[in-house]
Amino acid sequence: MSCRVGFVGLGVMGGPMAGHLLAKGFDLTVWNRTASKTRPLAEAGARVAESLEALGAACDAVVLCVNRTEDVRECLERLAPALARGSLAIDHSTISPVAAREFQARLRAEGIGFVDAPVTGGSMGAQKGQLTVFCGGEEDDVRRALPIVGAYARRAERVGGPGSGQMMKMANQIAVAGSLLGLCEALAFARKAGLDLGQTVELVGSGAAGSWAFQNYGPKILAEDWSPGFSIDNQLKDFAYCEEAAKAVGAAIPGTELVERLLADLRDQGLGGQTTAALYRRLLQLGSDS
């Protein structure tokens, strides 16, 4: 590929995504705050930049996959002076929609394109190159981003102007809250009722109640495997953005607010690093307390 791509943020999601870019023949340069995470990609043929500024100067497009709004802001403040006019920034982080619009406007004023492009599909989707990507931005910027994003996406679409990608991700996270609650509440009930949990996951998950949560989190609950995946801490971060966005548009999200409170209880017990499927444990506790 002629496009020189930089990738920033090589965690559970970003590492596999960058690997797909390399496998598809992109000229790839990577940077990560924890330098050791660059080693597997370097061994596979990627260049490792000594700094964010050096990465920006060497690339036509930069992809970010970090954590919070503040992390994206810090990266862009360091990258923007090094990026050439006409270059492109693609942000796969889940952040505030208001901030995404701010970043787009700031970079556009400097002749740099910006696409807010949060993803869904989890760590398995990243590993398999089967993510769904919600792209917000100007049509031309999204058009330029799609060949890059396509290296690790099953489906990627423009969903509107700047900030719209993040708004679609908020809708996604609101739906995730409901399906997570449905799974964990059903299994906590089944356990209290003396039902076989494995059979419950198989039978209930194969019918009208079936969902991504049943398929992916059901087995983790059966194995009492509370490792992330997607952690409680990260989910609570996303729910804060959901509440901000819901307030801005006048939407009610009572189900999401309930799941947030229950997960916050687990975080307060020191369990914020566990998988969100540990919500099942909190519901068992509530049942025992009633």
Name residue 157's beta-bridge partners.
134
Q: Are 127 and 121 in contact (CB under 8 A)?
A: no
Q: How many CB atoms neighbour CB 256 within 10 A?
A: 23
Q: Say whether the peptide bond before residue 122 is cis (omega within 30 degrees of 0).
A: no
d(CA 278, CA 290): 19
In a 10 Å sphere around its CB, with 0-12 CB exposed, 13-18 middle and 19+ buried, how is residue 43 labelled?
exposed
169 catalytic residue (yes or no): yes
Among candidate residues 24, 37, 128, 169, the one labeled active-site is 169
In angstroms, the first-to-last Cα distance of the chain is 61
Contacts from 220-224 at CB under 8 Å and sequence distance 24+?
Answer: 220/275, 220/277, 221/183, 221/184, 221/187, 221/197, 221/277, 221/280, 222/197, 222/198
* Residues catalogued as catalytic: 169
